[in-house]
Amino acid sequence: MLTPSRLKLTRLRRAMTLTDLARTSQIPLRTLSAYENGEHSPKPDMVRRLAEILEVTPAFLEREEIEFIDPDAVSFRKLSKTTARLRDSALAAGRFAIEIADWNDDNFRLPKPDLPTLDKHDPDTAARILRERWGLGEQPISNVVHLVEAHGVRVFSVASDCRDIDAFSFYRDGVPFIFLNVGVSGERQRFDCAHELGHLLLHMESDRAHGRDKEIEANRFAAALLMPERGVIAQGLREATLEGIIAAKRYWMVSAMAMTHRLHEMRLISDWNYRNTCVALSSLGYRNGEPDGVNGERSQVLSKIVRALREDGVGPEAICKDLGLTLDELNRHIFGLAPHAVRGGGQRSPRQGVLQMVQ
């Protein structure tokens, strides 16, 4: 039996309208519409045809009903530039990732979410409190993805066919999710991850993101978390030179622009110095990239799971088999964050508790 919500979710995932799907499948629009509304159920050969076009297995379309993610509860960063169809595809991809995350939870022992609620604080205070609670001192954060994962955040890649969508985040049943666009510099990816953590900590689900003030707060939180006030002051960066700023940005592993902005925000450099530095950095290529930058961070959870499944002889296709996904689809969600999932062979079931997370 076809599950109507799964047909619709998968169609949105492939960024297809009902008309697109009707054209590709040569199934009349009215019939397809009836399938999606649950008014009519297709025969097995029809389900197979739809599954093939939508790049999932028939089993995926026949599993239990699936709830959609509420777009209002998601922190989309560049909503204005985002077409509705691409956003729907990224959100549907997010729903696929939830299925993968649930599978991971069923099969491995993962860190329990323990993010505090800091919505009563301004972003700077919230970042300071979090650094204290998580014992980060005034040191650079060596790996932001590993840090949030150790506190129970599930990190996935913005599906690799939705690269025009920026990072986003949401809570689902008390579990925080962050989706990172890995097609950016390592510094930008770290900042994005801290920015999304800011949304999760500061903004209530009901009014998650959507709005310039929320974006400014999340940016301010990310800057204060990655470049803590006392640590930056201790570096003696008052009226820093270009060389001093570049050395500092390497130390904190942030973009040169973010470092400059932070120093200006903290009133350590003058407006004049700030403007001149921005112009100089642009001419050195720091506006659109990060010369000699850091590598993008990987997910400890996803990497360990892929490795553990391979070592256990079941391979990542254990996930695909249970969920009805193709390996290609699985790879789109872990792209850049974990080793590419390849066919690993074997028929065994994964052992419970194979995975022990360390920070």
User: Which residues make up the interface to Zn ion (CB under 5 A)?
Assistant: 75, 77, 215, 218
Closer CB to Zn ion, 21 or 226, in the complex: 226
Cβ of residue 169: shortest distance to Zn ion, in angstroms?
Answer: 8
β-partners of residue 179 are: 156, 168
Cβ of residue 118: shortest distance to Zn ion, in angstroms?
Answer: 16
Cβ of residue 96: shortest distance to Zn ion, in angstroms?
Answer: 22
3-state secondary structure 140-153: CCCCHHHHHHHCCC
Cβ of residue 113: shortest distance to Zn ion, in angstroms?
Answer: 20
Q: One-letter amino acid identity for 288?
A: N
CA dist 215 and 217 (Å) reads 5
Closer CB to Zn ion, 216 or 233, in the complex: 216
Contacts 24+ apart (CB under 8 A), 76-82: 76/165, 76/166, 76/168, 76/209, 76/210, 77/166, 77/167, 77/168, 77/195, 77/209, 77/215, 78/165, 78/166, 79/210, 81/164, 82/164, 82/165
CA dist 47 and 31 (Å) reads 13
Cβ of residue 77: shortest distance to Zn ion, in angstroms?
Answer: 4
Closer CB to Zn ion, 218 or 263, in the complex: 218
Closer CB to Zn ion, 55 or 265, in the complex: 265
Closer CB to Zn ion, 192 or 297, in the complex: 192
Closest CA to 101 of 161, 195, 174, 191: 174
